[in-house]
Structure 1
Amino acid sequence: MNMAMAAQGRTAGWMAAAALAAAMSGLLTGCAAPPPHDVVSDVASPSDDTDQRRRARIRLELASSYYAEGKTEIALDELKQVIQTDPYYPDAYNLRGLIYMRLGDNRQAEENFRRTLTLNPRDSDAAHNYGWLLCTTQRYPESARAFQQALGNPLYGDRAKTHMALGLCQARAGQGADAEASLTRSYELDPGNPITGYNLARLLYQRGEFPRAQFYIRRLNNSELANAESLWLGIRVENRMNDGAAMAQLSEVLRKRFPQSPERTSLDRRAFDE
C-alpha cells in the first residue's frame, strides 16, 4: 500500500496522501468464525474456517474488490449477503465501516468498527480504522486509545502506519512532543515512507528544530518521491539554515517540475514565512 500512497502523494500532496494512507488498514485478516455471542479467543487461520465462513469469505473478497473499484453500493449489497451467511464475521463489519466512512456516514462507520472489535478485540486493522475515524471527528483521546489497542497486538504487522496515523492525530490535537515521538517511531520502522518523512520534517520545522527538519526533508527530496510540497518545505528549511546553494538547487527543481503549483507561486513571492 505504501507504493500506492507514494504515487498519490506526488500529485495530490503529502497532507492529502497522509489522510488517505492513515484512513485504511487491511481488509481481509483471515479470522476464524467465533461461536455465537463470543469473541475470538485464540489466533486463527484459514484452515480453521467452517464451510459457513468459507462461503462468507468468498463473498467478502468480492465486496472488497468492488470497494477498491469505488463501487460502494454494490460492495454494500455484497456485504449484506456476507453477514446473512455469517453474522459473526469481523472482517465484514470492518469493511462495511470503511465504506460508510468513505460515504461520510460516521455514525454507521463507528457502529461497524465497534461491532468488529466486539467480535475480535485483537483485530488491529479495525482498531486502526476506528482510531482514524475518531481522529477525523476530533475525538483525540479516544482515537489514541484505539491506535494503542491496535499496537497492543504483538502479531500486528502494520505498526509503522499506525504510529504514523497516531502522530498525525497528535499533531492535530496540538500535542507536538507526542506527535514527534510517534512519527519518529514510524520512521524507524519504515524509513522509506515519504508521508512519514514529510510530516516529521514539517512538524520539526514548525517547532523550530531546523537542523533535524533538514535531515528528514533532504532525504525525501533526494529521492524520486519528492513533490512540490516537499521541495517547498525543503526550500523553507534551507532558508532557515542560511544555505543559499541548497535553496537555489531546490528552487530550480520546483520551477521546472511543478511550474503551475501553488508552491511555485509562493516561491516567486518569497513567502517563506507564511
Structure 2
Amino acid sequence: MRLSPLPLLLALLLAACTSTQPRRTVEGRSPAEINTELGIGYMQRGMLAVSMEKLQKAIRQDPQLPAAHNAIAVLYERLGENDKAEAHFRKALRLDPGFSRAHNNFGTFLCRRGRWPEAEAHFTTAAADPLYPQALMALANAGICAQGAGDLDKAEDYLRQALNHNPRFAVALLQMARLTLARGQYLRTRAYLQRYQEVARHTPESLWLGIQAERALGDRDAAASYALLLRNKFPDSEQARLLREQNRHDGNGR
C-alpha cells in the first residue's frame, strides 16, 4: 500500500509578543514591536523582501526582542538560509527560555532537518506551557515528527495526548488515521476518519487515507466514493496523481 509523503509540520501563527519590557510608544508598543508585527504581516502575505526589511529594522531597534529573532528565523528558513535561521531561533530562546512559540517553531525547523531528538525537546517544552494557546499544536507536531522519524509508538502517544485534551482536534484525528493506516489497523483508520469528518472538511490527504483504508477493508463502494470526491475536488493534488497511478497499475484506467 502506498502512502503519500508525510505532510509538512503545521505552520504556526507568529505573534509579536515578548516577555521583555522595551521602551513603549504612545500606543503601548515599542518601535521594534511594531516593526516585528509589520514584518510578520508582510511574511504571511508572501512579501518576503519587505518582511526582511521590517524585521531587520526591529532587531536594530531592540536586539533583545525575542519575538523579532523568532520571526526572522522563520523568514530565513523560508528563504533557505538555515544557518541564519537556527542562529536566530537560538538567540530568541537565550533571551527568553520560556518562549513557547519559539520552542514550537524551532522544533518544526529541527524536524524538517531530520533532527528528531532535538525537535522533541522543544515540542515538549512548548506543550508543557499551560499558558501557550498552541500547546495542542506542539503535541501534534511532535506526533507528526515522531512518525516521520519512524517512531510510531511515540507518535501515537503524542497524538493521544492531544486528543485526550480535545477529542475533536482535527489535526490529531487526521494524523491518527494516517498512523493506524501505516500499522494496517484499517477499522481504526475508518473510525478516525469518521470522527475527522464530523469536525473538518475533507482534504486530499483525508480522502486518500479513506481510499486506502476502504480498499483494504474490501468496501469498494466507500473507496469509490472517496475516489470520486478526490478527483472532483482536488484534481491537481499529489493524492489525485497517486490515485491515477494506482488505478493504471491495477488496470482500472482512471
Shorter-normalised TM-score: what interval? Answer: 0.7 to 0.9
State how far apart, in whole Å, the 2-side matches of 1:224 and 1:89 are. 37
Give the match's secondary structure for 2:98. Answer: coil
Alignment partner, residue 159 of structure 1: 135
**Are the counterparts in 1 of residues 108 and 119 from structure 2 also a CA contact under 8 Å?**
yes
Offset at residue 190 of structure 1 (A) = 4.5
**Are the counterparts in 2 of residues 214 and 238 from structure 1 also a CA contact under 8 Å?**
yes
Alignment partner, residue 51 of structure 1: 24
For CA contacts below 8 A with separation 6 or more, give which structure has more relative contact order: 1
Give the match's secondary structure for 1:57. Answer: helix
Give the match's secondary structure for 1:51. Answer: coil
Q: Could you tell me which runs of 5 or more consecutive residues in structure 2 were left unpaired when the two chains were aligned.
A: none
Offset at residue 32 of structure 1 (A) = 2.8
Letter in 2 for 1:27: A
Which of 111, 114, 117 aligns to 2:87? It is 111
Which of 150, 159, 174 aligns to 1:174? It is 150
**1:94-139 Cα distance to aligned partner (Å, 9 max, x none):** 0010100111111111110110111111100000111111111111
Offset at residue 226 of structure 1 (A) = 1.1
Go from structure 1 to structure 2 and tell me whether the alpha carbon gap of 1:50 and 1:203 turns closer, same or farther (over 3 Å shift).
same
**Are the counterparts in 2 of residues 194 and 225 from structure 1 also a CA contact under 8 Å?**
no
State how far apart, in whole Å, the 2-side matches of 1:254 and 1:174 are. 28
**Are the counterparts in 2 of residues 228 and 263 from structure 1 also a CA contact under 8 Å?**
no
**1:164-213 Cα distance to aligned partner (Å, 9 max, x none):** 11111101111000001112223344555544322221111111222211
Verify: 1:32 aligned to 2:5, yes or no.
no
Go from structure 1 to structure 2 and tell me whether the alpha carbon gap of 1:130 and 1:258 turns closer, same or farther (over 3 Å shift).
closer
State how far apart, in whole Å, the 1-side matches of 2:9 and 2:111 are. 13
Q: Could you tell me which runs of 5 or more consecutive residues in structure 1 were left unpaired when the two chains were aligned.
A: 1-13, 34-48
Verify: 1:19 aligned to 2:35, yes or no.
no
Worse-matched range after superposition: 126-135 or 54-63: 54-63
Alignment partner, residue 124 of structure 2: 148
Verify: 1:138 aligned to 2:114, yes or no.
yes
Verify: 1:219 aligned to 2:190, yes or no.
no
Offset at residue 50 of structure 1 (A) = 3.1
State how far apart, in whole Å, the 2-side matches of 1:242 and 1:72 are. 49
**1:60-105 Cα distance to aligned partner (Å, 9 max, x none):** 2221222112222222222222122212111010001010011111
State how far apart, in whole Å, the 2-side matches of 1:134 and 1:174 are. 16
**How many residues are aligned here?**
241
Letter in 1 for 2:34: I
With normalisation by structure 1, the TM-score equals 0.78
Letter in 2 for 1:150: A
State how far apart, in whole Å, the 2-side matches of 1:267 and 1:219 are. 27
State how far apart, in whole Å, the 2-side matches of 1:222 and 1:269 are. 32
Alignment partner, residue 11 of structure 1: none
**Are the counterparts in 2 of residues 214 and 234 from structure 1 also a CA contact under 8 Å?**
yes
Go from structure 1 to structure 2 and tell me whether the alpha carbon gap of 1:154 and 1:262 turns closer, same or farther (over 3 Å shift).
same
Worse-matched range after superposition: 67-76 or 203-212: 67-76
Structure 1 segment 174-193 matched on structure 2, within 5 A: 174-193=150-169
Offset at residue 141 of structure 1 (A) = 0.7
Worse-matched range after superposition: 81-90 or 248-257: 248-257
